[in-house]
Structures are given as C-alpha cells and as structure tokens.
C-alpha cells in the first residue's frame, strides 16, 4: 500500500484552515509510537523530543495508560457530570492534594484554553472586574478570552477582547529593557513596574495570569522568586494569582512539581490551570482553585466532555506511573545532563544565543550569526536538519527563533545523549549552510 504523502498534504490544505500550520517542508504523518520514539507512514523512526507539544508526558503507548483506556472504554464511554463519576472524583482528589492550594476544588475541561477561560471567569466574577494582568510574551490558549491575554503577536489574530489586559514585564529574562540587570535588580525593576502600573488603573484588577516558564514564548522565564515578589504587591489589593501550569506542571521542570514552586515564598497561587501532559494525549484540562473562588459562580456551569470517564482513567494511570517512577527526579537528572551537553555544543556556535530552561523543558535561542537578531529562518533549518537525522524537536519564541526541547519524562540517559549528538550535528550543519549559502 502506498501512503500517497503528497496527496495527503494537498488534502490537508484543501480542507483545513490556512492558519493551522504544519512543521516541515514535507510534513510528517506519524502513525505510531513507543516509549520516546515515533514512526512515520513510511516506517522511518524518530527520537521524539517534543512529545506532541509536551503532551506525551510519560511515554508513547505506555501499557498502563493503554490498559486503563481500553478497560474503561469497554465499560462505559460517557455518562456526563449529571452523575457521580468515580474516576473523576479520584483524579480530582489527587490533583487537589498535589496542587499545594489549601481547601482546593478541581474543575475538569477538555483543553488548556478552556481551563484558562474558566480561571478568568472565576477571577473576574470573584473580583467583579474584567481587568487582567498578563505577562509580555505570554500564551494561554486560542479562545476569544484567552487571545485577549496573549502577549505574542504571532498568536494574536484579533485585538478585540472581553477583558482589559495590562501587560507586565518579567517573563523574558535575557531580552527587553531590564535584561542587563542582575537577578535581584531585575526582580526589583519588574516589581516596581507592576506597582507603578497598578497605580494607574481604574482600580480593582481581578488577577495576574502567568506561565512560570513561557511555553509558546520559547521556554523563557524570570529569575526564581519574581512571582513571589509580585504576589506581595498583588496581595495588598486582593488581586488573585493564576499560575498557568499547562506546560510546566507534573514535574517536567525537574526541580519542582509545579512551576510556581520556584516562586513559593509568599505561598501558592490562588488558582492553577493544567492540561497537556496529564492525559498523555487524552484530552484533559482543568482548573484548581481555593473553594471560595471556585464556588463563587452564581449560576450553573458544566463541560459536557470535561472529566469524561475514559480521559479520567487515562489521567489516573498516567499520574500513578509518573509518581511511582519519580519522573520528576528523572527530568531533573536527565534534563540537567541534556542542558549541560547542549550548552557545551552551543559554546562553539555563533548561531546559538542562549540555552535555557530547566529539567526536560529546554529552549535554544538562535540568532543571525554575528548579531543579536533572532533568526526564525535558522530555527526552521535546524528543525529540518534534525528531522533528517531522526530527531523531532519544536520551536517557539518571537517569530519562532527558539528551538524547544521537551521529550517524554521517561527519557533515558542514552536517549538524551543520542538526541544531543543529533541536535549538535543539525546545528553545525545549519551554521555551515547559513555561512556558505550567503546568509538568510
Ligand atoms: N496555556 C499554555 C501555557 C499553553 O502552552 C497552551 C497550549 N500551547 C494552552 C494554555 C492552551 O492549551 P490547549 O491548546 O489545550 O487549549
């Protein structure tokens, strides 16, 4: 049987939206996976360092998750939230306990976008205000309200918004007006900026929403402690803190189970949102909030598919595997080694401006050699060169100039070393290509 790849691409273009972009000049059709590997329709095997955008959290085809899904599918696929759901209650109990938020309540959705929408609905209702603080370079989803808190032009198709959004400095350590400052001074400058901003609003800001490490933004982050300093300012006015843990949750950052724990001096956030990895590909999103905030809605609300039994069974099996095998510890150890290897590679290459991140969430920002200008072109070339060598990675950041590396959390040392070697070759190839080809 021929897979007729070109035809499939043409059919994609003919029937799907133009803004639903694909990676690679010859886009890939992935047909199966196992562990940290995936195969395309032609049978070519790739080491997967992107996990379908940080969503294959433990491993492809993890037997425990497959078993839980098929067993639940054989019993009942759907009941709705009108009836008691044992797997939903059990997963909510476990997430509430892990969240660090006291007296926590959990609401399940089908995506990160809907989780953030819910958090915004809760915060704006609780505070009787539609003013939201968001970070520059942020991404929180694709809905009308989530687009209104997106500080990233490439992902902002409209400026219309139900929210009044004020963008705050601090999510991008190594660029912007405060980049040259020390960590301490950087935090002080961003906090002073926040205080100044609050002094200029009509009053009654509802919440700050922030990704502890910006995902789509290219794995950029503030120094540890920034959000704790922000928290102190926000708390004076009762402004809530929403931590968007859609990419940073479940131990991916190695040092912490949640990204907010790098900013924990003044306690946990008031709300936390999650999605992506917890379902290992099954659609689970959700929001955790203090009971008084979660319960503040004056009307009914439900998500028909949120918390459906098959997804909850998958989430429980996936979370159990993650905790039983200390995958956070694995992310710290193997991720630490991978960052070190990539930093050593980068030291010899003008193309690489910065290797950043923590655990298995690593960004490599590329520039036009000899300049400080971000180079999305170089990133596209490295993606292609890595693919040719059997390695899948992602990209992000302004214009897409940062490579994003986020393998499943079961990554082995041997796989990390293999991936680093392949990426090093792809980077060197691209640097030579740019030098030889007369630039971009
Ligand atoms: N928040 C963050 C930090 C994300 O990275 C994403 C997805 N890239 C979302 C929210 C939206 O999640 P979803 O695509 O599941 O709606």
Ligand 1 centre to CA of 140 (Å) is 5
Ligand 1 centre to CA of 230 (Å) is 23
Q: What is the pLDDT of residue 439?
A: 42
Would you say domain 65-324 falls under CATH 3.40.640.10? Answer: yes
Q: What is the pLDDT of residue 399?
A: 86
Q: Which of 113, 279, 306, 404 to mutate to test the pocket of ligand 1 (most atoms within 8 A of CB)?
A: 113
Q: Which of 56, 242, 276, 282 to mutate to test the pocket of ligand 1 (most atoms within 8 A of CB)?
A: 276
Q: What DSSP line would sit under 258-289, residue for residue?
A: SGGGGG-TT---SEEEE-GGGGBTB--EEEEE
User: Is the Cα torsion angle 425, 431, 434, 437 positive or negative in sign?
Assistant: negative
Nearest atom in ligand 1 to the alpha carbon of residue 283 is: 15
Ligand 1 centre to CA of 245 (Å) is 9
For ligand 1, atom 10, the nearest C-alpha belongs to: 140
Nearest atom in ligand 1 to the alpha carbon of residue 114 is: 16
CB 223 within 8 A of CB 238: no
| Calpha distance 179→352 (Å, rounded) | 17
Task: Estimate to the nearest angstrom the gap between the alpha carbon of 332 and the chain centroid.
Answer: 17
Q: What is the pLDDT of residue 347?
A: 94
| Calpha distance 62→64 (Å, rounded) | 6
Ligand 1 centre to CA of 246 (Å) is 6
Ligand 1 centre to CA of 282 (Å) is 14
Q: What is the pLDDT of residue 3?
A: 55
CB 345 within 8 A of CB 424: yes
Nearest atom in ligand 1 to the alpha carbon of residue 112 is: 12
pTM for this structure? 0.97
Ligand 1 centre to CA of 250 (Å) is 15
For ligand 1, atom 7, the nearest C-alpha belongs to: 141
Ligand 1 centre to CA of 182 (Å) is 31
Ligand 1 centre to CA of 51 (Å) is 14
Nearest CA-CA partner of 264 in 222, 236, 214, 225: 225
Ligand 1 centre to CA of 342 (Å) is 26
| Calpha distance 330→250 (Å, rounded) | 12
What is the C-alpha radius of gyration for the chain, rounded to an integer number of angstroms? 22
- Domain residue limits, the chain: 5-61+326-438, 65-324
Ligand 1 centre to CA of 321 (Å) is 23
Protein residues whose CB sits closer than 6 Å to any atom of ligand 1? 53, 111-113, 116, 139-141, 211, 215-216, 244, 246-247, 275, 285
Q: Which of 55, 244, 275, 311 to mutate to test the pocket of ligand 1 (most atoms within 8 A of CB)?
A: 275
3-state secondary structure of 128: coil
| pLDDT tens track for 313-368 | 999 999 999 999 999 999 999 999 999 999 999 999 999 999 999 999 999 999 99
Nearest atom in ligand 1 to the alpha carbon of residue 141 is: 11
Q: Which of 140, 213, 303, 363 to mutate to test the pocket of ligand 1 (most atoms within 8 A of CB)?
A: 140
Q: Would you identify the CATH topology of the domain 5-61+326-438?
A: 3.90.1150
| Calpha distance 176→196 (Å, rounded) | 18
For ligand 1, atom 13, the nearest C-alpha belongs to: 112
Q: What DSSP line would sit under 157-173, residue for residue?
A: S----SSEEEEES-S-T
Nearest CA-CA partner of 150 in 164, 160, 135, 163: 135
Nearest atom in ligand 1 to the alpha carbon of residue 142 is: 16
Nearest atom in ligand 1 to the alpha carbon of residue 216 is: 5
Q: Report the mean per-residue pLDDT for the chain.
A: 96
Nearest CA-CA partner of 331 in 275, 277, 286: 277
Low-confidence ranges of the chain (pLDDT < 70): 1-3, 437-440
CB 430 within 8 A of CB 378: yes
**Which residue's structure tokens are 């923590």?**
358
Ligand 1 centre to CA of 131 (Å) is 21
| Calpha distance 319→277 (Å, rounded) | 9
| pLDDT tens track for 229-265 | 999 999 999 999 999 999 999 999 999 999 999 999 9
């Amino acid at each position: 049987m021929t897979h007729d790849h070109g035809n499939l691409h043409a059919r994609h273009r003919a029937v799907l939206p133009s803004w639903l972009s694909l990676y690679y000049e010859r886009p890939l059709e992935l047909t199966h996976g196992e562990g940290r590997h995936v195969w395309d329709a032609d049978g070519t095997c790739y080491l997967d360092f992107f996990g379908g955008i940080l969503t294959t959290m433990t491993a492809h085809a993890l037997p425990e998750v497959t078993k839980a899904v098929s067993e639940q599918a054989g019993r009942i696929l759907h009941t709705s939230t009108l009836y008691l759901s044992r797997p939903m209650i059990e997963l909510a109990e476990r997430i509430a306990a892990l969240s660090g938020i006291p007296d926590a309540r959990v609401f399940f959705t089908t995506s990160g976008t809907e989780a953030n929408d819910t958090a915004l609905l809760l915060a704006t209702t609780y505070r009787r205000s539609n003013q939201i603080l968001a970070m520059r370079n942020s991404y929180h989803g694709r809905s009308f309200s989530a687009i209104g808190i997106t500080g990233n032009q490439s992902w902002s198709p409209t400026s219309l918004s139900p929210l009044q959004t004020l963008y705050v400095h601090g999510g991008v350590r190594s660029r912007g007006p405060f980049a040259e400052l020390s960590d301490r001074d950087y935090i002080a400058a961003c906090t002073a900026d926040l205080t100044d901003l609050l002094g200029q609003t009509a009053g009654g800001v509802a919440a700050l929403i922030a990704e502890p490490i910006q995902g789509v933004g290219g794995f950029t982050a503030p120094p540890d402690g920034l959000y704790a300093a922000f928290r102190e300012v926000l708390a004076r006015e009762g402004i809530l803190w929403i931590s968007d843990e859609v990419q940073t949750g479940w131990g991916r950052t190695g040092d912490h189970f949640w990204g907010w724990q790098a900013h924990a001096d003044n306690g946990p956030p008031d709300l936390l949102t999650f999605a992506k990895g917890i379902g290992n590909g099954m659609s689970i999103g959700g929001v955790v909030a203090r009971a008084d905030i979660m319960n503040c809605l004056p009307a009914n609300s439900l998500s028909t598919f949120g918390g459906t039994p098959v997804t909850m069974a998958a989430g429980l099996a996936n979370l159990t595997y993650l905790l039983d095998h200390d995958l956070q510890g694995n992310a710290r150890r193997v991720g630490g080694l991978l960052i070190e290897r990539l930093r050593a590679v980068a030291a010899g290459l003008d193309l690489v401006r910065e290797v950043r991140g923590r655990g298995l969430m690593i960004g490599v920002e590329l520039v036009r050699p000899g300049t400080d200008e971000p180079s999305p072109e170089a990133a596209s070339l490295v993606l292609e060169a890595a693919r040719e060598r059997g390695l899948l990675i992602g990209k992000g950041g302004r214009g897409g100039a940062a490579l994003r590396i986020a393998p499943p959390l079961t990554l082995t040392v041997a796989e990390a070393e293999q991936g680093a070697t392949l990426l090093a070759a792809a980077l060197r190839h691209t640097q030579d290509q740019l030098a030889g080809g007369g630039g971009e």
